[in-house]
Structure formats: structure tokens, C-alpha cells
Amino acid sequence: MGRSPCCCHDAGVKKGPWTEEEDRALVVHIQRHGGHVGSWRNLPKAAGLNRCGKSCRLRWTNYLRPDIKRGNFTADEERLIIALHAELGNKYGQLLATRRSPPVAVTANTHAVCLCVGWSTIATHLDGRTDNEIKNYWNTHIRKKLLRMGVDPVTHQRLPPDDVLGGALAAAPGLPEALLSAAASLGGLNSVLMQAQALQLLLQAVNGGAAAAGLIASFSPAVDNAMPPLLNASSIVPNFQD
């Protein structure tokens, strides 16, 4: 099957940001049909819009739908996204590796390095959130947060200590030398405890102790359970000063 022609390539079809009038026309048309769209391709003409059907569908599903929740993601939503990403990312990664392009798309673009995880599937678990919104939130917030923690956002595995230090340095160029050397001295250690200590210390420097404790508690329950005292961030630093 070859690629199908798309109405988006029609000459004269408007692109770019939607105006209020266009939004209104689309909403009125869909509401008039009881919230159902027969054919997206035919919709623009029927609604009096000079837009591609795909564009209309995207505008409706990502922005105009009445059940869309606006505003910041809650901590619970964030945790859920990460959990689902970890689960679905692995599933999709294995699935996709066998039948389409590799799950990881790395580009020269600085904006996003994404994993094919099934954003739409994740979106079905979050009321009022769209796949596009979740994808954007992942790429702009969660991904960076995980990298700062030394967690690979693609595999959800801990990055090698060198990478953790590199990431922390990139995130906080002013990180004190002494702190880094102390953490680096733990790099070769295998124990989860020591690595967690190093990680938490770095996070403290980057984000502040409370944030670090919160992140570790959120994303690494195993570490949390094994070493609850670590989550008292202030107790860590003296260990390094010894």
C-alpha cells in the first residue's frame, strides 16, 4: 500500500494557527451533528472551513473537545505518565522494533528525543488529557527531570555514573568542584545505596533537597523502601564531608 494523498497538499488550504471564527465554525458544526464527525475529509467543506480534514481533527481532539482538561499536570498525573511510559515504552519498543523504524528517534534537533511509547494509550489513562499534550509534557518537563536524576528517559534505567555527573553538570554548571569529586568517587561502586547517595547529593545541588527527595521517592520506590533515611536530604551531606 502506497502513501495516500492528503487533502493537506491541496493548493489554497489554510495552514497555521486557528482563528476564533474557525474554532467556532468547527465546534458549531460538530455540535450540530451531536458531537459525531462522519468524515473528517468532508467536514471542512460542510463546516465552511478552508482547512484540511486532518487539521480539523487535530484541532478538535487536541484543543476544542469539551472534555479536555486545561492547566498544569498534577504530581499524580506525572507519576502515572512515567509509570505508563515505563511499561508501554518497553512493550512498544519490542513490538515496534520488529515491524517499523527503531523506537528511538534521535535527531539533531535540540527539542525532542522521543520514544515510540503509545502516547494515545497513555492518554486513555488520564482523564481530559490528550496524547499531544502528554507528549509535549514528557519532552519538555519529565524527560529533563529524569535526565537530571540520572535516569535514562528511554529505558528508565539508571545511566552510568559518568553520565549522571555529566547531566548534573550540564544542568548546573556552577556545581561546586568538591561536591562533584565526592560524588564521582562513588561512581565505581555497585551498591544501590551509594549510587543513590551520589544521585541525591547531586540532585540536592541542582534542585534543592526537598525536590530531590520527592523525585527519588516518586521514581524509585525500591530505593525508597530500602533506604528511607536517605530521603532526609540533610542527612546525606555530612557523609561526604567525612
Partner DNA sequence: AACGGTTGCAACCGCCTTTAA
Partner DNA sequence: TTTAAAGGCGGTTGCAACCGT
Q: Which residues here bind DNA, judged by CB under 7 A? A: 1-6, 8, 14-18, 37-41, 52-55, 57-59, 62-63, 99-101, 103, 105, 107, 109-121, 131-133, 135-137, 139-141, 144
Shortest reach from residue 233's CB to DNA, in Å: 23
Indicate the residue among 73 and 231 with the shorter CB distance to DNA: 73
Give whichever of 14 and 156 is closer to DNA, judged by the CB atom. 14
How many other C-beta atoms lie within 10 A of the C-beta of residue 155?
Answer: 14
**CB closer to DNA, 63 vs 240:** 63
Give me the least distance between CB of 183 and DNA, in Å please: 22
Residue 28 CB, nearest approach to DNA (Å): 17
60 vs 219 by CB, closer to DNA: 60
Measured from the CB of residue 241, what is the shortest distance to DNA in angstroms? 29
Q: Return all residues near 198 (Cβ < 8 A) that are at least 6 apart.
A: 161, 164, 183, 186, 187
